[in-house]
Amino acid sequence: MKLRRVVVTGLGALTPIGNTVEEYWNGLINGKSGAAPITYFDTTNFKTKFACEVKGFNVQDFIDRKEARKMDRYAQYAVVASDEAVKDAGLDLEKIDHDRVGVIWGSGIGGLETFQEEVMNFAAGNGTPKFNPFFIPKMIADIAGGLISMRYNFRGPNFTTVSACASSTNSLIDAFNYIRLGHADAMVTGGSEAAVTIAGMGGFNAMHALSTRNDDPTTASRPMDKDRDGFVLGEGAGALVLEEYEHAVARGAKIYCEIGGGGMSADAHHITAPHPEGLGAKNVMLNCLRDAGLTPQDVDGVNMHGTSTPLGDIAESKAILEVFGEHAYNLNVNSTKSMTGHLLGAAGAIEAIASILSIKHGIVPPTINHFTDDENIDSKINFTFNKAQKRDMKVVMSNTFGFGGHNACVLVKKLEM
C-alpha cells in the first residue's frame, strides 16, 4: 500500500527554560540553563540539591482549580502543552472529524509525585488505609492521553507509550505510523514528566545517575565534556500535532516540516547502562534512515540523547561515527539536555520540537557547558559547543535512549511540495 505523508502543524512546550514554544526556542538559541536549586522540597540530606524545574507555572492559569486537583503535575503539564499545540495547529473543532483525530502520549513514570504523597500519608497515619479517591487515576501513566482526548473529544486511537526516556519519541513514531497507514487524519502526540520529587531524586541519586555539582548547577549538565558527572533531572512537556499532508493542505494549515521516518531498537545489554560500543544506538539510527528512505549523507544534524553521563555520551558518539562515517564531521550534532536537563519520558518530544525549529529558523541550538575535550570522544565532530550556529537544516535526526535498552529515533525534514 502507498503510505500517506505526515506533517507537523502544531507545537506546544512547557520546559525548564520556557513555558511556551517561543520562550523555549529563545532559551535554546541563547544557551540558557534551566538548572537551579530545587524548590519543591527540602534537599538538605540529598546528594543532589538542584534540578531543571518548570518555573513560574500556575496551573490555575490554564485549568480549573477543581479539575487540576484531580491531576498529577505530569498530567497538568500534558494538558497545558497540548492546548498550545492544538491552538497553534489551528484545528477547527467544529469541522474536523473527531473520530479521525487521536492522542498518543508518552511518559516514562507517570504520576510519581501522587504515588509518593499517598504512600507517605499512609505511613504517617495510624495504619488506616485512607487514600485519595483520585489516587489511581492521578498516578497511572496513561491518564494524560485520556485527559487530552476528553478535553477535545478526540475519539481516534488513544494510548500511552512507556519506554523510559524513549517514551515520547515512541509516541511520536506511533502517531506517525497511525496516520501514514490511514488509521487517523491527525494526532496529538508528545510526552510529559514530573519526576523532580523526593522519590525521583532519591532514586536516581541511589543509582549514581545524577550530577552532584551542587556548587554550580547551571554548568552541571555538560554533555561530551571530560568532567561530566551525570545528568540533571528535568521536568515538563512537549506536544506536537501531526497531520496527514493532504488533510493539512485542504484546510490551509501552517506546516512546520514533514516527518520522514522513525526507528526503534534494543540494546539487549543492561538494565541501565548503554551498550559500550553503541550497538543499539547505531541500529536505531540505521533503522530510522531505512524507514525514511534516506542515506547518512542526506542528514544535516543529530540532536543526541546526550545526557552528560560518563558512559552514555561515549557510546552515542561512537554510534554516530559508525553510522555516518566521514560524513559525521559534516554534521551539526548537539545536545539540548545541556540546557533543559533530562526530561525522561518527555525528552523526545521537546527535543523533536528543537529539531523542527532548527529547520524552520536555520539555527542549531548549542551544547552548552563544554570546557574540556574528552579524549574518548572524537573532537572532530561538530558538537555545536557553547554557541548556536546558523545553518540551512533540511534533515535532522533526534535520538532518545531509555533504561532497559529501549532506543527510538525520529527524522524530521524540510517539506518538499
**Percentage helix, strand, coil, to 5, in the chain?**
35, 20, 40
Q: Which of 386, 414, 401, 283 is nearest to 351 (CA)?
A: 401
Query: Do 181 and 324 lie in a common domain?
Result: no
Q: Which residues pair with 397 in a beta bridge?
A: 302, 411
Q: What angle do CA 138, 197, 130 make, to 5 degrees?
A: 45
Confidence of residue 126 (pLDDT cuts 50, 70, 90): confident
Confidence of residue 125 (pLDDT cuts 50, 70, 90): confident
What pLDDT, on the 0 to 100 scale, is given for residue 127?
A: 77
Q: Which residues pair with 407 in a beta bridge?
A: 265, 401
What pLDDT, on the 0 to 100 scale, is given for residue 416?
A: 85
What pLDDT, on the 0 to 100 scale, is given for residue 68?
A: 97
Query: Do 113 and 182 lie in a common domain?
Result: yes
Q: Does 112 map to a domain?
A: yes
Percent of the chain topping pLDDT 90: 97
What confidence tens digit (pLDDT) does each residue in 147-190 have? 999 999 999 999 999 999 999 999 999 999 999 999 999 999 99
Query: Do 228 and 296 lie in a common domain?
Result: no
What confidence tens digit (pLDDT) does each residue in 349-385 have? 999 999 999 999 999 999 999 999 999 999 999 999 9
Name the region of 56 (left: φ>0; alpha: ψ -120 to 50; beta: rest). left
Query: Do 239 and 275 lie in a common domain?
Result: no
Whether residue 165 lies in the annotated active site: yes
What pLDDT, on the 0 to 100 scale, is given for residue 234?
A: 98
Query: Do 115 and 167 lie in a common domain?
Result: yes
Per-position DSSP letters for 340-391, written without gaps between them: H-B-GGGHHHHHHHHHHHHHHHTEEPPB----SB-TTS-TTS---BSS-EE-
Q: For residue 216, what are the contacts with CB-CB under 8 A and spacing of at least 6?
A: none
Instruction: Check 247, 257, 288, 342 and give the catalytic one.
Output: 342
Confidence of residue 128 (pLDDT cuts 50, 70, 90): confident
Per-position DSSP letters for 256-309, written without gaps between them: -EEEEEEEEEE--S-SSSPPTT-HHHHHHHHHHHHHHT--GGG--EEE------
What pLDDT, on the 0 to 100 scale, is given for residue 1?
A: 76
Query: Do 269 and 240 lie in a common domain?
Result: no
Average pLDDT over residues 322-335: 98
Using the predicted structure, report yes or no on whether residue 345 has a pLDDT greater than 70.
yes
Instruction: Check 52, 165, 288, 409 and give the catalytic one.
Output: 165
Using the predicted structure, report yes or no on whether residue 207 has a pLDDT greater than 90.
yes
C-alpha cell, 209: 545517575
Range of the domain at 26: 6-250
Name the region of 208 (left: φ>0; alpha: ψ -120 to 50; beta: rest). left
Q: Does 221 map to a domain?
A: yes
Residue 44 φ then ψ, to 5°: -50, -45
What pLDDT, on the 0 to 100 scale, is given for residue 260?
A: 98
Using the predicted structure, report yes or no on whether residue 417 has a pLDDT greater than 80.
no
Instruction: Give CA–CA dist 13/357, Å, rounded.
Output: 12
Instruction: Check 247, 275, 305, 370 and give the catalytic one.
Output: 305
Q: Does 1 map to a domain?
A: no
Instruction: Give CA–CA dist 417/121, Å, rounded.
Output: 57
Whether residue 269 lies in the annotated active site: no
Whether residue 288 lies in the annotated active site: no
> Which domain CATH number covers 94?
3.40.47.10
Tally the domains of the chain: 2
Q: Does 257 map to a domain?
A: no
Strand ranges in 15-60 using DSSP code E only, listed in sequence order: 36-37, 50-51
Mean pLDDT of the chain: 97
Residue 400 φ then ψ, to 5°: -145, 135
pTM comes to 0.97
What confidence tens digit (pLDDT) does each residue in 215-255 have? 999 999 999 999 999 999 999 999 999 999 999 999 999 99
